[in-house]
């Protein structure tokens, strides 16, 4: 019996579409197609063709902006204004991928530095790495697809893409757009499958590069199973810390922190989670932060005024409710929220000084919950911020440049925002976790470079 999945709206749980899953037997022709495309160099897409396809795709996406926005809302539950921003960002990402193709270049390697290397001319070139297997997450269903598919196309790699089973429609729509834009058959294959088939796919010896966005447990497990020679990039979550010094500018800081905390109901890998506030301003900070958070409108993501939509599944609402109740029983003070609104919605929640042993302090919440902690000494706060195994993006709010630079230096993070929230991102900047939060560096241009490999050519001639 053929397996299938039902894609449902995270807000009202209405069925949107039922889609078939591929089986283990279905996977072989998919892998064979990608491998044979890459193995025969006559099939390779020249740079100008890749540019044409991506530029045409960006144009088609712009023409269908509202339709794609509605699609991403329906399957992902992100509010309208945030979904529209994601689609616009995705279009920019496709353009960035097309533009970076012209930057795929090598360099001359100096020779004649020794007697033995005389009479030689040496240079490097960039080639596609090979077949890319991409496994993606649900929280940005279109933009994550851009970061894993458009980059592979730009690098010249055939790509097999597995979207999150809760949000496959945006990537399927993008695949159709790429086909319409002229991407030849086989260069992108979107597969819907269970975990067993996904593992079979990414661990196959014909996969040259594995890109994964999702949970650490799954990512590190799959990395351990990769075939020898398969390179990878893993992007997992964090528990983003923020240091708030006593001289922080409230007028600028509070709106940024509210946005960074509750955007997409906190379902962001760099969402603000742990805020360490100097004891001298704790009371005023809590009051201002809670007042601004209370103004957020929670509800139907299709309404243009909604700020916080549903969690991806009711199971996640159950988990958040359990974690919050555990934190309260372990000594946290409830400042705001703390309760489910419905089967799919949870109140934006603020906890004060939860135990360092509570799940909300130890693990990525991935929901609309923020923890505030007080501190006397900044170095002690930084030590607490660095205490977890996950390290992704962090932030510090201060008007003292020396304090800012010192904090940036001491925070264990791949990126530190000064006077901005932890979820800030531009698609051309390096982006990724370190330590348990991932391996490799994302961002459109950085991912394209990771999907290439270097070839050295050396000419020997007595006339050189």
The verdict on 226 and 256 lying in the same domain is no
- Is residue 261 exposed (0-12), middle (13-18) or buried (19+ Cβ within 10 Å)? buried
Question: Is residue 116 a contact partner of residue 16, using CB atoms and an 8 Å limit?
Answer: no
Question: Is residue 193 a contact partner of residue 27, using CB atoms and an 8 Å limit?
Answer: yes
The verdict on 168 and 259 lying in the same domain is no
The verdict on 105 and 208 lying in the same domain is yes
Classify residue 136: in a domain, yes or no: yes
Provide the pLDDT for residue 2.
78
CATH number at residue 451: 3.40.605.10
Report the distance separating Cα 270 and Cα 311, nearest Å: 16
pLDDT band at 1 (very low <50, low <70, confident <90, very high): low
The verdict on 404 and 376 lying in the same domain is yes
Q: What is the tens place of the pLDDT at every residue in 84-139? A: 999 999 999 999 999 999 999 999 999 999 999 999 999 999 999 999 999 999 99
Q: Does residue 269 carry a catalytic annotation?
A: yes
Question: Is residue 441 a contact partner of residue 432, using CB atoms and an 8 Å limit?
Answer: yes
| Ramachandran area for residue 38 (φ above 0: left; ψ -120 to 50: alpha; else beta) | alpha
Provide the pLDDT for residue 375.
97
Edge-to-edge strand ranges of the sheet holding 120-128: 108-109, 120-128, 452-460
Q: What is the tens place of the pLDDT at every residue in 337-373? A: 999 999 999 999 999 999 999 999 999 999 999 999 9
Question: Is residue 132 a contact partner of residue 153, using CB atoms and an 8 Å limit?
Answer: no
Q: In which domain, by residue range, is 122 found? A: 4-236+437-459
Provide the pLDDT for residue 210.
98
The helix (run of H) or strand (run of E) holding residue 335 is strand 333-336
The verdict on 312 and 362 lying in the same domain is yes
Of 269, 316, 364, 371, which one is the catalytic site residue? 269
Classify residue 428: in a domain, yes or no: no
Report the distance separating Cα 94 and Cα 58, nearest Å: 6
The verdict on 13 and 106 lying in the same domain is yes
CA 446 to chain centre: 13
Provide the pLDDT for residue 80.
97
Domains contained in the chain, number: 2
The verdict on 204 and 263 lying in the same domain is no
The verdict on 389 and 453 lying in the same domain is no
Q: Does residue 83 carry a catalytic annotation?
A: no
CB atoms within 10 A of CB 293: 24
Q: What is the tens place of the pLDDT at every residue in 280-323? A: 999 999 999 999 999 999 999 999 999 999 999 999 999 999 99
The verdict on 195 and 272 lying in the same domain is no
Q: What is the tens place of the pLDDT at every residue in 432-454? A: 999 999 999 999 999 999 999 99
Question: Is residue 182 a contact partner of residue 58, using CB atoms and an 8 Å limit?
Answer: no
The 8-class DSSP code of residue 207 comes to -
Classify residue 429: in a domain, yes or no: no
The verdict on 231 and 325 lying in the same domain is no
Report the distance separating Cα 30 and Cα 23, nearest Å: 11
Question: Is residue 178 a contact partner of residue 100, using CB atoms and an 8 Å limit?
Answer: no
Provide the pLDDT for residue 147.
97
CB atoms within 10 A of CB 55: 16
Classify residue 196: in a domain, yes or no: yes
- Is residue 154 exposed (0-12), middle (13-18) or buried (19+ Cβ within 10 Å)? buried
Classify residue 424: in a domain, yes or no: no
Q: What is the tens place of the pLDDT at every residue in 145-193? A: 999 999 999 999 999 999 999 999 999 999 999 999 999 999 999 999 9
Question: Is residue 327 a contact partner of residue 359, using CB atoms and an 8 Å limit?
Answer: yes
Provide the pLDDT for residue 25.
95
The verdict on 207 and 97 lying in the same domain is yes
Q: What is the tens place of the pLDDT at every residue in 55-85? A: 999 999 999 999 999 999 999 999 999 999 9
The verdict on 195 and 162 lying in the same domain is yes
pLDDT band at 26 (very low <50, low <70, confident <90, very high): very high
Of 83, 86, 157, 235, which one is the catalytic site residue? 235
Token couple for 78? 């992100």
Classify residue 426: in a domain, yes or no: no
Question: Is residue 35 a contact partner of residue 131, using CB atoms and an 8 Å limit?
Answer: yes
Classify residue 427: in a domain, yes or no: no
Question: Is residue 251 a contact partner of residue 386, using CB atoms and an 8 Å limit?
Answer: no
Strands in 132-273 per DSSP E: 132-135, 159-162, 188-190, 209-213, 231-235, 241-244
């Amino acid at each position: 019996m053929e397996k299938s999945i039902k894609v449902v709206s995270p807000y009202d749980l209405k069925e949107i579409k039922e889609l078939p899953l591929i089986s283990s037997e279905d996977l072989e022709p998919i892998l064979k197609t990608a491998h044979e495309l890459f193995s025969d160099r006559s099939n390779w897409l020249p740079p100008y063709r890749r540019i044409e396809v991506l530029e045409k795709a960006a144009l088609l996406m712009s023409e269908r902006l509202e339709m794609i926005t509605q699609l991403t809302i329906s399957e992902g539950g992100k509010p309208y204004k945030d979904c529209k921003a994601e689609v616009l960002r995705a279009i920019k990402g496709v353009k960035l991928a097309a533009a970076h193709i012209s930057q795929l270049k090598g360099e001359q390697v100096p020779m004649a530095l020794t007697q033995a290397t005389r009479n030689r001319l040496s240079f490097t070139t960039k080639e596609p790495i090979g077949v890319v297997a991409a496994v993606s997450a649900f929280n940005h269903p279109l933009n994550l697809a851009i970061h894993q598919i458009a980059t592979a196309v730009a690098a010249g790699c055939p790509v097999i893409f597995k979207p999150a089973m809760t949000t496959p429609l945006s990537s399927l729509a993008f695949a159709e757009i790429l086909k319409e834009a002229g991407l030849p058959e086989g260069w992108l294959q979107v597969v819907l499958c269970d975990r067993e088939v996904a593992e079979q796919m990414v661990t196959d010896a014909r996969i040259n590069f594995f890109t994964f966005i999702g949970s650490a447990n799954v990512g590190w497990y799959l990395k351990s199973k990769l075939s020898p020679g398969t390179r990878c990039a893993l992007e997992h979550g964090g528990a983003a810390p923020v240091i708030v010094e006593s001289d922080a500018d409230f007028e600028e800081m509070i709106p940024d922190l509210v946005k960074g905390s509750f955007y997409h109901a906190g379902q962001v890998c760099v969402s603000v989670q742990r805020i360490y506030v100097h004891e001298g301003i704790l009371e005023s900070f809590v009051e201002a932060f809670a007042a601004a958070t209370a103004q957020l409108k929670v509800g139907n993501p299709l309404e243009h005024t909604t700020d916080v939509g549903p969690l991806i599944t009711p199971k996640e609402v159950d988990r958040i409710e359990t974690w919050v109740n555990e934190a309260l029983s372990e000594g946290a003070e409830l400042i705001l929220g703390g309760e489910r609104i419905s089967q799919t919605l949870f109140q934006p929640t603020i906890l004060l000084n939860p135990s360092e042993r509570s799940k909300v302090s130890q693990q990525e919440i991935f929901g609309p919950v923020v923890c505030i902690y007080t501190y006397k000494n900044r170095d002690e706060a930084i030590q607490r911020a660095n205490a977890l195994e996950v390290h992704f993006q962090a932030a510090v709010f201060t008007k003292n440049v020396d304090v800012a630079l010192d904090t940036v230096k001491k925070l264990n993070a791949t990126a530190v925002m000064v006077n901005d929230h932890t979820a800030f991102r531009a698609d051309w900047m390096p982006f990724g976790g370190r330590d348990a939060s991932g391996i490799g560096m994302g961002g459109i241009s950085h991912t394209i470079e990771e999907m290439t490999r270097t070839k050295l050519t050396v000419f020997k001639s007595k006339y050189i």
